[in-house]
Structure 1
Amino acid sequence: MKVSSKVKYAVEALLELSSRQEEYVSVAWLAERRSIPRTFLEQLLLKTKRHGLTTSRRGPDGGYRLAHEASDIRLGDIYAAVEGPLDLCACGRGKDDTRSADAMLEGIWLELEGAIRTYLDGVTLDDLRSRGAEFPAAVEHTYTFSI
């Protein structure tokens, strides 16, 4: 299983918002701070808003902020908001042929999906923040030129 850039960027953005719980943060500032392409970030934040994870406000003091406490936003919520439901098993759900390899493995894939969902639903933004004492800013790029 490979975690997409959408999920990685959404988690980064929401972690950043969690450190500014009461403020509205502009997309431009957030994109620059986390080195996330702005248009991509806008799309992700719209998805998190539609799923009730963030709220937004227009205007010069506008932007996005978390809709809930960081302790109430789970990785599973973020994943579902930007990727849709977790679906490892695109095998023959509901097919009658129980002899196919897909049908034989379907139960295993479904158990794995359940275990991943349970794990992701057990980790909150607060948990992530506490794992890495301070969420670091995006890597500053330093360029050295020698002539």
Structure 2
Amino acid sequence: MRLTTKGRYAVTAMLDLAFHSQKNPVTLTDIATRQTISLSYLEQLFARLRKAGMVTGVRGPGGGYKLSRDASLINIADVIEAVDEQLDSTKCGGEANCQNNKACLTHDLWMGLSDQIRGYLQGISLGDLLEKHHVKEVAKRQEMDAKVIELHRMDRCQSLYK
């Protein structure tokens, strides 16, 4: 199975959103800064996540995104599939047409692996990850790092006007 940047970034962004949107909506700019993901890439991912009904946009001052349902109800497999990633280890996409339109010798092996991976990721929710001590520590560190970046940005802007 190949999990591309798209799937990894989607999970990372959703976990960031789950952590930081517990009080207020979160902007994609904030997620981009904390996770060092391109803002334009996040916009593409969140368009798909919104279409899949996982996030809701909030307009106006103080707006941004929030989860559309409780983090415990959003599993990692659904996030990955929402951004058009396949949880499939086969060459044939599970169609059993890998060799001359028939199943190859190892088709069942790769189908079994795909099922195991999908089951594992379906069994983990964003809420489960939020409960992990390590996730909380990393999220807090990233928040502090983002504040430092913002302070440096503000200092640069102020020095331009002097």
The 1:55–1:110 alpha-carbon spacing in structure 2 relative to 1, beyond 3 Å, is: same
Instruction: Give runs of aligned pairs for residues 23-102 of structure 1, distance below 5 A.
Output: 23-91=24-92, 93-95=95-97
| Offset at residue 127 of structure 1 (A) | 1.5
The 1:103–1:16 alpha-carbon spacing in structure 2 relative to 1, beyond 3 Å, is: same
Give 1:145's aligned residue: none
Q: Deviations over 1:98-123 (max 9, x none)?
A: 8x7x5211111111111111000001
**Which residue identity lines up with residue 136 of structure 2 in the other structure?**
E
Does the Cα contact within 8 Å between 1:71 and 1:127 map onto a contact in 2?
yes
Which deviates more from structure 2 when the two are superposed, residues 130-139 or residues 120-129? 130-139
**Which residue identity lines up with residue 68 of structure 1 in the other structure?**
R
CA distance in 1, matches of 2:65, 2:119: 28
**Is the helix fraction higher in 1 or 2?**
2
Q: Deviations over 1:51-72 (max 9, x none)?
A: 1111112222221110111111
Does the Cα contact within 8 Å between 2:3 and 2:85 map onto a contact in 1?
no
**Which residue identity lines up with residue 134 of structure 1 in the other structure?**
K
Does the Cα contact within 8 Å between 1:24 and 1:64 map onto a contact in 2?
yes
SS at the partner of 2:104?
helix
Does the Cα contact within 8 Å between 1:10 and 1:82 map onto a contact in 2?
yes
SS at the partner of 2:69?
coil
SS at the partner of 2:3?
coil
Give 2:123's aligned residue: 122
RMSD of the TM alignment (CA)? 2.7
Aligned identity (percent) is 33
Give 1:7's aligned residue: 7
**Which residue identity lines up with residue 85 of structure 2 in the other structure?**
G
CA distance in 2, matches of 1:133, 1:113: 26
Runs of 5+ consecutive residues of structure 2 not aligned to the other structure: 149-162
Which deviates more from structure 2 when the two are superposed, residues 2-11 or residues 63-72? 2-11
The 1:18–1:93 alpha-carbon spacing in structure 2 relative to 1, beyond 3 Å, is: closer
SS at the partner of 2:65?
strand
Give TM-score, length-normalised by structure 2. 0.74
Give TM-score, length-normalised by structure 1. 0.80
Give 1:16's aligned residue: 16
